Amino acid sequence: MDYSFFDFLKLVGSLGLFLYGMKIMSEGLQKVAGNKMRTILSAMTTNRFAGVCTGLLITALIQSSSATTVMVVSFVNAGLLSLTQAISVIMGANIGTTMTVWIISFLGFAVDISIFALPLIGIAMPLIFSGKSKRRSIGEFIIGFSLLFMGLTFLKDSVPDIQSSPEVLSFLKEYSDMGYGSVLLFFLVGALLTIIVQSSSATVAITLIMCSKGWISFDVAAAMVLGENLGTTITANLAALSGNVSARRAALAHFVFNMFGVIWMLIVFFPFIRFISGLSESLTGYAPDSLQAFINAQSPDTMARISSADTASLTSSELALRDEYMRLQTTVSYGLALFHTIFNFVNVVIMIWFVNMYAKIVSFLIRQKHSDDEEFQLKYISSGMLSTSELSLLQAKREIAVYGERTARMFEMSRTLLAEKPDSESFNKLYSRIQKYEQISDNMEIEIAEYLNRVADGRLSYEAKLTVSSMITMTTEIESIGDSCYSIARTVSRKNSEDIKFNDYMSEHLDAMFRLVGEALANMNAILSKSDITDADVNAAYNKEMEINNYRNMMRAANMENINSKKYEYQAGIHFMDIISECERLGDYVMNVVDAVRESRHGKVAG
């Protein structure tokens, strides 16, 4: 076989074009329908059958079971889906991902879609340069769709016919005739190939092409597809290693579900293959294994001629052979699509009745660590589980809400610190706790901002870019709230070190200011956790901010008069007003967060 390094690069390049097309197509679809997908998931009931249908529908639409799984993890993290509901959606995603194989089989083998690829890209070009993000996303989908099938066509052309490669034919024949051993061997090959390529759709396409070229038999190809089903879950588990408990449980659930399917399928493999072959023959008129018999009956020269794209030089008998060859290739692709679909469907039918038990097993295997709340750990996002850019925003939103709740707790600690006896053990312990919260606040700001910057580096719609900008503003302002809380604590500590005491008048007015700021923080956190913000929410926040400003102004005006009238000492008045002023600044930061939330929900950049 004369297969050069250049030919190998063409093969790799074809695979790269296929993968890139799949990525662009999937991301374009998610941008167009991402919010609707989240609405479908959030409205889903506890009905496991509805969950399966939801997972099937979403995965079939966005052509990515990985994206569906990440979306499910986001909703589990957010408390919108239980693990049981998530498992049923993942089951549906397994069936939905088989749609990719059917699309490739029909458009890649039965129809030569590549001849329409360039015209489709021509149609998409005006959409790409449109001012409306939805039109741009539709254009990206069309271009991704075209590149995918161009890559598939190049991939088919880059794989030589088996008859022209006697050495490879001899090698494959040796390892394909080991009975059950061959099934296990090629099952492992399929799993390993998927882990390397990081795309089950790409490895299924490779398997389809290898089988259609006669490199492997139908049963060996089915074993590879089985391995690819398991391999795609291993990549998700590797990605989830640095994720949180919910992410690891969802990834493990996907693995255990597919592993169970692999086990029972390996037990009934050959009877199942005979069933699929019979079903395929009744539907198409040909058995899937007829292709290899056809190829073996032809000479290498004949196979080279009928496989060529140049049909003008073919005789009538060669044209007839070419037509039969193409029909048999289509039959094989349909047979593998049938195997893939029926296997996943039967697996869901078996496992759907044991979802609750299944969830308990996964929860037992990955237990929730009851770690100290004051240890720094992001709850909803992690470096290892960055999903597609559009879907990552939900995780960031939930993490920012947690950040806001942490700073509210920090404020309450600063308020409590004022009432603690100076130099007591409880005072020192609480002050150290506030210091630790300040470190946590700084770390959270850095981690969330870095995460949002990674999201911003992805392919975002215009509205999503504005949302990221607003989220970064929220994160910065919440960190400033934490700084203000720590500043209040330091002022209290300085007051105590100078042996200055606040009288009843000062304590009463500080309590009033703390109460106003606490209410403002509660409003802010309620807004952060809402899916939508109303004018009433914003007006309530503005009114509370005005109350805080007016109270600060009143205290500032009364301060010098109180000092002159000897109501309290000058130095005590300085510390008193320092705390009052810091509370007012904190209120400003709270209002900035509310403004950023409002503007992010209305598609504007926060100022």
Question: Looking at residues 402-414, what average pLDDT do you find?
Answer: 94
Q: Is 50 exceeded by the pLDDT of residue 84? A: yes
Say yes or no: 400 and 343 in one domain.
no
pLDDT at 34 (0 to 100): 56
Question: Looking at residues 101-128, what average pLDDT do you find?
Answer: 77
Least reliable range by pLDDT among 39-43, 224-228, 566-570: 39-43
User: Among 572, 547, 570, 552, which residue's Cα sits nearest to residue 560?
Assistant: 570
Q: Is 80 exceeded by the pLDDT of residue 235? A: no
The pairs formed by 499-502 with CB atoms below 8 angstroms and a separation of 24 or more are 499/422, 500/569, 500/571, 500/572, 500/575, 501/572, 502/418, 502/568, 502/572, 502/575, 502/576
**Token pair for 466:** 């504005």
* C-alpha span between 359 and 605 (Å, rounded): 41
384 part of a folded domain? no
Least reliable range by pLDDT among 49-63, 297-311, 562-576: 297-311
52 part of a folded domain? yes
Q: Is 70 exceeded by the pLDDT of residue 334? A: yes
Say yes or no: 350 and 492 in one domain.
no
353 part of a folded domain? yes
Question: Looking at residues 360-380, what average pLDDT do you find?
Answer: 69
pLDDT at 80 (0 to 100): 59
Q: Is 90 exceeded by the pLDDT of residue 69? A: no
Amino acid symbol at 537: D
pLDDT at 267 (0 to 100): 93
More confident: 232 or 563:
563
Q: Is 80 exceeded by the pLDDT of residue 164? A: no
Q: Is 80 exceeded by the pLDDT of residue 449? A: yes
Question: Looking at residues 99-125, what average pLDDT do you find?
Answer: 77
* C-alpha span between 486 and 482 (Å, rounded): 6
* C-alpha span between 175 and 161 (Å, rounded): 18
381 part of a folded domain? no
Q: Is 90 exceeded by the pLDDT of residue 408? A: yes
494 part of a folded domain? yes
Write out the DSSP string of 377-431. Answer: --SS--TT----HHHHHHHHHHHHHHHHHHHHHHHHHHHHHHHSPTT-HHHHHHH
591 part of a folded domain? yes
- Give the CA distances from residue 437 to residues 356, 403, 441, 481, in Å, rounded to whole numbers and listed in that order: 38, 11, 6, 12
pLDDT at 606 (0 to 100): 35
Question: Looking at residues 251-257, what average pLDDT do you find?
Answer: 86
Q: Is 70 exceeded by the pLDDT of residue 390? A: no
User: Which tens digit of pLDDT belongs to each residue from 546-559?
Assistant: 999 999 999 999 99
User: Which tens digit of pLDDT belongs to each residue from 166-203?
Assistant: 555 566 666 666 778 888 988 998 888 888 777 777 78
pLDDT at 298 (0 to 100): 74
Say yes or no: 356 and 400 in one domain.
no
CA-CA-CA-CA torsion sign (582, 586, 588, 589): positive
φ and ψ at residue 373, rounded to 5 degrees: -60, -20
Say yes or no: 65 and 207 in one domain.
yes
pLDDT at 412 (0 to 100): 95
Say yes or no: 213 and 246 in one domain.
yes
* C-alpha span between 411 and 399 (Å, rounded): 19
Amino acid symbol at 436: K
Q: Is 50 exceeded by the pLDDT of residue 372? A: no
pLDDT at 385 (0 to 100): 47
pLDDT confidence tier of residue 66, bands split at 50, 70 and 90: low
Out of 327, 349, 365, pick the residue that ends a domain.
Answer: 365
More confident: 216 or 487:
487
pLDDT confidence tier of residue 454, bands split at 50, 70 and 90: confident
Say yes or no: 343 and 269 in one domain.
yes
The domain of 497 spans 389-601
Question: Looking at residues 362-373, what average pLDDT do you find?
Answer: 71
HEC readout, 180-199:
HHHHHHHHHHHHHHHHHHCC
φ and ψ at residue 564, rounded to 5 degrees: -65, -35
Question: Looking at residues 429-449, what average pLDDT do you find?
Answer: 90
Say yes or no: 326 and 399 in one domain.
no
Question: Looking at residues 582-587, what average pLDDT do you find?
Answer: 96
Percent of the residues in the chain that have a pLDDT greater than 90, as a whole number: 28
Contacts of 234 (CB under 8 A, 6+ apart): 191, 194, 195, 255
Highest mean pLDDT out of 205-214, 378-387, 555-564? 555-564
Say yes or no: 423 and 532 in one domain.
yes
Q: Which residues of 502-538 are buried (b: 16+ CB within 10 A; e: fewer)?
A: beeebeebbeebbebbeebbebbbebbeeeebeeebb
Total number of domains in the chain: 2
Say yes or no: 208 and 350 in one domain.
yes
pLDDT at 261 (0 to 100): 92
User: pTM of this prediction?
Assistant: 0.63
Helices 218-240 & 200-212, crossing angle to 10 degrees?
170
Local structure of 126: helix, strand or coil: helix
Q: Is 60 exceeded by the pLDDT of residue 107? A: yes
Helices 5-42 & 65-77, crossing angle to 10 degrees?
40
CB neighbours (10 Å) of residue 601? 16
User: Which tens digit of pLDDT belongs to each residue from 24-54?
Assistant: 876 776 676 655 655 666 555 457 888 888 8
Q: Is 50 exceeded by the pLDDT of residue 438? A: yes
Question: Looking at residues 214-224, what average pLDDT do you find?
Answer: 87
Burial of residue 306 (number of CB atoms within 10 Å: 0-12, 13-18, 19+): buried
Cβ pair 329, 212 in contact under 8 A:
yes
374 part of a folded domain? no
pLDDT at 473 (0 to 100): 94
Tell me how many degrees the CA angle 443-456-524 measures, rounded to the nearest 5.
Answer: 55
Say yes or no: 55 and 150 in one domain.
yes
Give me the numbers of helices (H) and strands (E) for the chain, helices first please: 23, 0
Average pLDDT value for the chain: 81
192 part of a folded domain? yes
More confident: 28 or 452:
452
Q: Is 50 exceeded by the pLDDT of residue 604? A: no
CATH code for position 452? 1.20.58.220
Q: Is 60 exceeded by the pLDDT of residue 152? A: yes
**Token pair for 560:** 């010098």
Percent of the residues in the chain that have a pLDDT greater than 70, as a whole number: 81
pLDDT at 605 (0 to 100): 36
Say yes or no: 411 and 320 in one domain.
no
Out of 365, 400, 429, pick the residue that ends a domain.
Answer: 365
Out of 330, 365, 400, pick the residue that ends a domain.
Answer: 365
Say yes or no: 20 and 132 in one domain.
yes
